[in-house]
Amino acid sequence: MTVDFGGGEYAIVAVVALIALAALVMGLKFRQEVLANPAGTPSMQEIGQAVQEGAQAYLQRQFRTLGIFVVIAFLLLFALPADDTAVRIGRSVFFVFGAVFSAGIGYLGMNLATAANMRVAEAARNGDRDKGMQIAFRTGGTVGMATVGLGLLGAALVVLFYQENAAKVLEGFGFGAALLAMFMRVGGGIFTKAADVGADLVGKVEAGIPEDDPRNAATIADNVGDNVGDCAGMAADLFESYAVTLVAALILGSAALGTDGLTFPLIIPAIGALTAIAGVYLTKGRSGESALVTINRGFYISALIAAGVSAVAAIVFLPDSLPSSLLTGVPESLGAHTLDPSVRVAAAVIVGIILAAFILWLTGYFTGTESEPTKNVAKTSLTGPATVILSGIGVGFESAVYTAATIAGAVYILFTLGGGSLIFSLFLVAMAGCGLLTTVGMIVAMDTFGPVSDNAQGIAEMSGDVDGEGAQILTELDAVGNTTKAVTKGIAIATAVLAATALFGSYYDAIMEAMLSLEGDAEALAEAGFLMGGSLLVYDPRALVGIIIGGCVVFMFSGLAIDAVTRAAGAIVFEVRRQFREKPGIMNYTEKPDYARVVDICTKDSLRELATPGLLAILAPIAVGFGLGVGALAGYLAGAIGTGVLMAVFLANSGGAWDNAKKLVEDGHHGGKGSEAHAATVIGDTVGDPFKDTAGPAINPLIKVMNLVALLIAPAIVALSYGDSANDLIRWGIALVAVALIVVAVVITKRRGTAIGDDSPAEQAQLG
């Protein structure tokens, strides 16, 4: 499909870029509003400063580590074939932009959150619940505006400068965003859950002290972890979802509708940016109303406005018939010849927004403190930790079925709307993803609300300056934050599946383009095309093997992430026990714990664990694609998407249910704090921590990274498999090197001890 930019297209892209800049300006305004509030008592500020310094030190070390990966990926991208040198350079340069934007949003989220938590605690100390809620939500609004603004600005600049080649350059932009987000998700998740699990097991279970008691050496690390995992990691994750969905929509849009398809996907997120600003302002507490009700109302109102305006935009900007080139070979009985693309795209955007709203409700039902599933998990604490674990796993399994079925149903509806045209159907899936992402500003705000309110409660408890009504306010906000974090994970998973499905279609389109560009004997090329087409069918053994391998990689990735938390948490347990034993004055407040030592252990362990999951995500599709062919790689992507959505929802919702079940017991149910039921739910929560905050969320960027890698290497696989340039030795050599690197990385990881530090694992076990 040709792309022909005129004055109207330039105007649309320019307006979108201006809206992106306006979103960034609003983010700065929200930031100033947050920082204008008082920072609390001197002891609050001292604790908050320690958390901020620890978070900054971690991210700075992480960025130095990830800089190596960025340089290597930049060079490899430059080496991949492209239509011309300008595209190759642009793809590599905008890869760096995507990575830098992703990292920058993560840093911004962390930096502001560590300043906002003190202010939320101070508002609660003064008995102002609504002000505390507003500060926490405006903090998230700042990050949401940065996510929307930078994602939209990056895509608009690529379209403006590269026009017909924008889709190819955007592959690099999306890959940079996704790669950094995956690393930040994994690293931050390991850090936060190692500290959290270690603090809970030694503090709550063994020492019998509260969660954020200043005598626990892991408390500062726990609060640091909330920021580097939930704020920095999730902000980067949602940014890459935004960027990758836009990439898929623009690639498929240009293939389906030409110039209209390249500009319209920018309009929908621009509308979302404006409605997100309205949503943040509409989210204001009312006397006697639950903070969760307030937040949900703001989300639903902004989503409703976005749906209406997006539908009007589709009808105004899109043509009323499909290009004839898309209708070749499509039977008239399927409806593609008579459908109105503008109406179908409007319907697709609305489907995406409805999907976001439904996932919000569904996830809230399975993880909220006022819903039956979580209450049932809390009730099982009366019979011990084993039943708590079993009931939480049951909730995760059941919720995964409903969520995955909902997403699958939405995808099927979208394909039906396509009227038989595959490319247009895939474009509709991508537009549904854009529709879902009209709510991303509110989603990021809801997610950041969680760790800010959690940290505020921790700072209040450690300082000892907040009690009575203020403590109750913070407990309520923390419980609401647990639910909003779980809800946004559900929406992020839905976004990941839609984006991955659309990228899957882009992969198919890339294969077809590569086949058409092959040189060689016509008869041989026809035979190659026939063989390749057969390999893409699901019943072909190559595709089936790929499906199995794709599912295996999701399991392996999840296992590596949870094992990493186990090792790091073991280190924290040993260290906190050692400090309690060697500094007996800690318990009567005559000695201070060494907080910095625990932060340092978490930092070192989380950063050393980054390489293996990252290499698995990048190298596994390379091994499958070059070793088994494009059909097996297509099956691999399908297996990874299907398994990934079920695994991600299961892990996230099990963890969310365990966390809020613990909150219910701590609020006085089933014996309250210090009871056997409480100990049982603490154990359930420690199991759920790496589920919901490390492995589960990291699957979102994982499946998109793998899809983008497949999209980028597809032309090279086709070139080495068919035509005059076919070379099986080079192809298999690349696959063997990729497999060897994965095996070496996994073996090295498995040989690591339970913990790190100056002592060997055996010596540390004796200390314990």
Q: Is residue 503 part of a domain?
A: yes
- How many C-beta neighbours within 10 Å does residue 552 have? 15
pLDDT in tens, 550-602: 999 999 999 998 888 888 888 888 888 888 888 888 888 788 888 888 888 88
Q: Is residue 57 part of a domain?
A: yes
User: What is the C-alpha separation between 279 and 533, in angstroms, rounded?
Assistant: 47
**Average confidence score pLDDT of the chain:** 83
Instruction: Tally the domains of the chain.
Output: 1
Q: Is residue 711 part of a domain?
A: yes
pLDDT in tens, 150-175: 888 988 888 888 877 787 888 888 88
Query: Who's near 574: CB < 8 A, 6+ residues apart?
Result: 755, 757, 759, 764, 765, 767, 768
Between 405 and 46, name the one with better pLDDT: 405
Highest average pLDDT, of 392-406, 520-534, 588-602, comes from 392-406
Predicted structure pTM score = 0.82
What is the pLDDT confidence band of residue 401, given thresholds at 50, 70 and 90? very high
The answer on pLDDT for 724 being more than 70 is yes
Q: Is residue 236 part of a domain?
A: yes
Question: In this predicted structure, what is the pLDDT of residue 766?
Answer: 38
Tell me which of 74-83, 627-636, 692-701 is least confident.
74-83
Query: Who's near 468: CB < 8 A, 6+ residues apart?
Result: none
Q: What is the DSSP string of 662-677?
A: HHHHHTTGGG-TTSHH
The answer on pLDDT for 317 being more than 90 is no
Question: In this predicted structure, what is the pLDDT of residue 383?
Answer: 92
The answer on pLDDT for 764 being more than 60 is no
Q: Is residue 480 part of a domain?
A: yes
Contact 418, 326 (CB under 8 A): no
pLDDT in tens, 687-702: 888 898 888 888 888 8
User: What is the C-alpha separation between 299 and 442, in angstroms, rounded?
Assistant: 6
Question: In this predicted structure, what is the pLDDT of residue 574?
Answer: 87
The answer on pLDDT for 207 being more than 80 is no
Catalogue the E-assigned strands of 17-117.
Answer: none
Q: Is residue 218 part of a domain?
A: yes
User: Mean pLDDT over residues 627-631, rounded?
Assistant: 89
Q: Is residue 5 part of a domain?
A: no
User: What is the C-alpha separation between 16 and 268, in angstroms, rounded?
Assistant: 10
Question: In this predicted structure, what is the pLDDT of residue 758?
Answer: 42
End-to-end CA distance of the chain: 67
The answer on pLDDT for 465 being more than 50 is yes
Element counts in the chain: helices (H) and strands (E)? 24, 0
DSSP 8-state code for residue 591 = S
Sign of CA dihedral 154, 156, 157, 159: positive
Question: In this predicted structure, what is the pLDDT of residue 755?
Answer: 46
Contact 217, 597 (CB under 8 A): yes
For residue 195, give the H/E element and its range.
Answer: helix 166-199
Q: Is residue 3 part of a domain?
A: no
Q: Which domain holds residue 260?
A: 10-767
Between 178 and 527, name the one with better pLDDT: 178
The answer on pLDDT for 768 being more than 60 is no
Question: In this predicted structure, what is the pLDDT of residue 525?
Answer: 61
Tell me which of 32-41, 181-190, 307-316, 548-557 is least confident.
181-190
